[in-house]
Amino acid sequence: MGSCKLSVFGFLSLIIILLTVSGEENDQLLLAKERVSLLSFKSGITLDREGALESWNSSNIHVCNWTRVECNNASNHIVKLDLSDLSLRGRISPALAHLSSLVILDLSSNFFEGHIPAELGYLSQLKQLSLSWNLLEGKIPSELGFLHQLVYLDLASNRLGGNIPEQIFCNWSSSLEYIDLSNNSLSGEIPLKDEFALRELRFLLIWSNRLVGHVPQALSNSSKLKWLDLESNMLNGELPSEIVRKMPQLQFLYLSYNDFGSHDGNTNLEPFLASLVNSSYLQELELAGNNLGGQIPPIIGDLPIKLVQIHLSENHLYGPIPPHISNLVNLTLLNLSSNLLNDTIPPELCRMGKLERVYLSNNSLYGEIPAALGGISHLGLLDLSKNKLSGSIPDSFANLSQLRRLLLYENQLSGSIPPSLGKCINLEILDLSHNKISGIIPSAVAALRSLKLYLNLSSNHLQGPLPLELSKMDMVLAIDLSSNNLSGTIPTQLGSCIALEHLNLSGNILEGPLPASIGQLPYLKQLDVSSNQLSGEIPPSLEASPILKQLNFSFNKFSGNVSNGGAFSSLTIESFLGNKGLCGTIKGMSKCRKKRAYSSFILPILLSLFATPFLCMFLLLRSRFRRQLTMFDQGDLENEEKETKELQYPRISYQQLIEATGGFSASSLIGSGRFGHVYKGVLEDNTRIAVKVLDSRTARELSGSFKRECQVLRRARHRNLIRIITICSKPDFKALVLPLMSNGSLERYLYPSHGLKPGLDLIQLVSICSDVAEGVAYLHHYSPVRVVHCDLKPSNILLDDDMTALVTDFGIARLVKGIDENTTTNDSVSFSSTDGLLCGSVGYIAPEYGMGKQASTQGDVYSFGVLLLEIIAGKRPTDVLFHEGSSLHEWVKSHYPRKLDLIVEEAKLRIAPSAMPAYCNKIWNDVIVELIELGLMCTQYNPSTRPTMLDVSYEMGRLKQYLSNPPSLLIEEEEEEDASSKFGDSWK
């Protein structure tokens, strides 16, 4: 019996051993199968990044050691495949479906094209699927609804179309917490049925698609939802009050730019706001750009106390602003613009002490501006324009120390401009135009050096002379004082407004000559002095200006000869009407009479009388100058050699710079700015250089900025950053010597003037932007000295012989510490910003800077986004601000997504070659739209929602690759469509 038991025990042991061996063999077979699947996947892609998947080869048997592959420790089965951000191109292989134990699949931020394989729906263990930021197209496969374990689904920023398959939302055992289908071309309704529930859902992002219909009632089952973003679709019906009422954890609710209405026949907003009262975590509410009607109910003040932003602009709301809104004491942004509001501004708004931006423009508000608004200490922007406000401008505005933008234009304001506005030392924009303001322009207001965009006092009843203090506005881009009663002469000191691009003094009673200094303004593009009483000759400096494009001298008392050369070559007689004393070669203008020449012998006699003494004087002065220069160089030679040795730069003396630039002559001047001038020159060895000379008047004040720039340029090395040749630093002379870029700056190609090359095409522009993104990403994340550039704009992007872009001008860069918390370098340096130092150029400055925030990498991302939008829209951001009264971001967003066609077509006309292959049309359309979308993402108001510069660099590289090597299938489809179209036309 014992032997029997022993036999049975031995038999069972044998079975266990055999099963174990069999299980091990199955594991080996499964690993081999997974290995074959990965190699099959790799065979269908190309690698733009060298060595990205080098370990993936047939000789390396252990797949768990392959790059970006993770296995389960117990079973050695593949559970995670993360190939994000590797610049992979090709199609996603269905072979990935054989990775049956896969839990995480992340292929985001690559160049994958084609369709999403339906076979991915067989990965039954999958919990996270991310395919965002690729070139995927076609429909979302319904088989993804089989992924019952899925928690995270991200298909955003592709080219997916068609309806959303209802299986995605009707997953009966769904544990989905995150769904992002945004930024595609999905259509149809949101297919969430009442019998199904996404009870674990926390994030639902479907913005920027083409969805229609109502918000499904079944969404009310998602009571854990924190972030609901349905913005920029075509959804309609009443606002989903009963749905959001059941979302107590909601933090962000974005429903803007749809076709929603309010309740009771679009007359009652109260039910919807009441449904949010108990959402105690709510921070941002956006309902702009819908068709909401009715009044703003007092219950708005009962919304959660954590609320920081409310957007109700571009609707049909009427009636008063309820004073009860002042209960929202943590609100930083209130936007009620472009409605039908028609009462007084409640002074209770002053209780909202954290307000930073207030938009009440384009309504019918009346009465006086409450003086209490001057008590909102954090207020950085106040826009009350296009209303019916009356009375005077409150003196209390002097208390708004953070105020950056004050827009009161197109009202019925009267009284005088309060001199106390001069205390708003951070003011960048002041627009009081189209009112009934009288009196003189206060000198304190005219002396506001902080104005960086424009001063607009036009169409009022101002009188008196132009204040000399206007000359202190050395950063302002536009001054408009037209249609007033200003008198006296135009001060020559206006030539000190070196950043000025637009000057309009028309419609006044100014007299005397037009100063030649106006024509010497280096950036002046538009000048209008019409309808005054100016006299004398038109200064030749205006004709010689290389960038002046629009000029109007009509209806004055000018006299003298006018040619049709230079800046005048594009002018017609309309620019000179009403000046009887003018003559010249402009078509329609009377020709000048020839003057009788003096006898030919008089001139030689006069020359012989005066030439000799002047020659002697010149030789004497030159001798003295050389002696002084020698003493100067010898006295500072030791310091200069010490500094040169320290920085390890080649020594170029001050004398050599003088000789190279012709004594820093006007003919060598290639740029000017607040801090100095840039001259071109040639050294003795024929090296072409650009010399950035610091203005001697501000050298002492800005020496810190100068030293920062030297340090950045010395330690930051990248192919897309300008390199430094040397520096020249003396007590009263400081300069940077840089290589001269033969192709100049990007600005000259975006806005070519007379005689310059035509603009660049899309391929070149994308390549340039990719270069810039890489250079700035290096500054943010990899440079030994972490740098925030702070002044990204076209004029600070130089192009070498090969049209490679180099980022330049770090004069106002912030060197920051701790951008990468994991960095171990000891070279990180931290500098605080210098008082009065700009955080960039107007139009490119991130909105948070206007609220007093410190410079940050997110600010550079914002500036880069503006650059992208500027390139596509063909508009300077300052022009949009000046003419449209909004930022370039806001202007483009107002066209997105439904009105983009006009922008896209205009862009193609401007940046497409004359002979473009048929297949390029769709490709270029796609790239232009993606550039717009990337620009809008970079210029979001909230800095935390902007991508990093590494993300931006990746996206630009992806677009660059897509343009240079478009998918062959797309080319074939486009050529077939073109051939079919031509055949159809000939048949007709």
pLDDT at 969 over 50: no
Distance from first CA to last CA of the chain, Å, rounded? 100
Confidence of residue 920 (pLDDT cuts 50, 70, 90): confident
The catalytically annotated residue of 229, 383, 528, 791 is 791
Q: What is the mean pLDDT of residues 178-196?
A: 90
Please state, in angstroms and rounded to a whole number, the distance separating the CA atoms of residues 224 and 202. Answer: 5
pLDDT at 465 over 90: yes
Percent of the chain with pLDDT over 70: 80
pLDDT of residue 284: 94
Please state, in angstroms and rounded to a whole number, the distance separating the CA atoms of residues 970 and 920. Answer: 9
pLDDT in tens, 88-110: 889 999 999 999 899 999 999 88
Give the residue, 675 or 904, on which the prediction is more confident. 904
pLDDT at 826 over 70: no
Q: What is the mean pLDDT of residues 837-842?
A: 61
pLDDT of residue 766: 94
pLDDT of residue 164: 95
Please state, in angstroms and rounded to a whole number, the distance separating the CA atoms of residues 341 and 336. Answer: 8
pTM above 0.85, yes or no: no
Can you list the domains of the chain with their CATH numbers?
Answer: 18-225 (3.80.10.10), 489-500+512-590 (3.80.10.10), 638-740 (3.30.200.20), 746-988 (1.10.510.10)
List, in order, residues 6 or more apart from 586 with CB less than 8 Å away.
562, 564, 568, 571, 572, 573, 576
Residue 878 tokens read as 């300052």
pLDDT of residue 941: 82
pLDDT in tens, 759-785: 788 999 999 999 999 999 888 887 766
- Burial environment of residue 169 by CB neighbours within 10 A (0 to 12, 13 to 18, 19 or more): buried
pLDDT at 463 over 90: yes
pLDDT of residue 700: 52
Please state, in angstroms and rounded to a whole number, the distance separating the CA atoms of residues 351 and 505. Answer: 40
DSSP secondary structure string, 591-628? PPPPPPPPPTTHHHHHHHHHHHHHHHHHHHHHHHHHHH
What letter does residue 647 receive in the DSSP assignment? H
List, in order, residues 6 or more apart from 298 with CB less than 8 Å away.
322, 323, 324, 325
Confirm whether 791 is a catalytic residue. Answer: yes
pLDDT of residue 758: 53
Lowest mean pLDDT among 38-52, 305-319, 694-708, 716-730: 694-708
Sheet with 581-584, edge to edge strand ranges: 438-439, 461-465, 485-488, 509-512, 533-536, 557-562, 581-584
DSSP secondary structure string, 342-363? -SPPPGGGGG-TT--EEE--SS
Lowest mean pLDDT among 263-277, 512-526, 728-742, 859-873: 728-742
Contact of 653 with 660, CB cutoff 8 Å: no
Neighbours of 945 (CB within 10 A): 10
What is the sign, positive or negative, of the torsion defined by CA atoms of 718, 721, 726, 730? negative
pLDDT at 49 over 70: no
Q: What is the mean pLDDT of residues 803-829?
A: 49
Lowest mean pLDDT among 210-214, 464-468, 937-941: 937-941
Confidence of residue 456 (pLDDT cuts 50, 70, 90): very high
Confidence of residue 78 (pLDDT cuts 50, 70, 90): very high
pLDDT in tens, 472-501: 888 888 999 999 999 999 999 998 888 898
Lowest mean pLDDT among 114-123, 128-137, 770-779, 979-988: 979-988
Nearest 5 degrees, angle CA 144-CA 146-CA 150? 75
Lowest mean pLDDT among 60-74, 212-226, 312-326, 719-733: 719-733
Q: What is the mean pLDDT of residues 525-529?
A: 94
- Burial environment of residue 979 by CB neighbours within 10 A (0 to 12, 13 to 18, 19 or more): exposed
pLDDT at 626 over 50: no
Residue 969 tokens read as 């299938």
pLDDT at 627 over 70: no
Residue 815 bridge partners (DSSP) = 787
pLDDT in tens, 306-345: 999 999 999 999 999 999 999 999 999 999 999 999 999 9
Confidence of residue 609 (pLDDT cuts 50, 70, 90): very low
Residue 486 tokens read as 């200003």
Q: Which residues are annotated as a binding site?
A: 692
Please state, in angstroms and rounded to a whole number, the distance separating the CA atoms of residues 691 and 687. Answer: 12
pLDDT of residue 319: 96
Average pLDDT score, the chain: 81
Q: Which residues are annotated as a binding site for ATP?
A: 692
- For 773, phi then psi, to 5°, come to -60, -40
Lowest mean pLDDT among 262-271, 430-439, 770-779, 885-894: 885-894
- For 647, phi then psi, to 5°, come to -85, -10
List, in order, residues 6 or more apart from 494 with CB less than 8 Å away.
466, 470, 471, 500, 503, 515, 517, 518
pLDDT at 119 over 50: yes
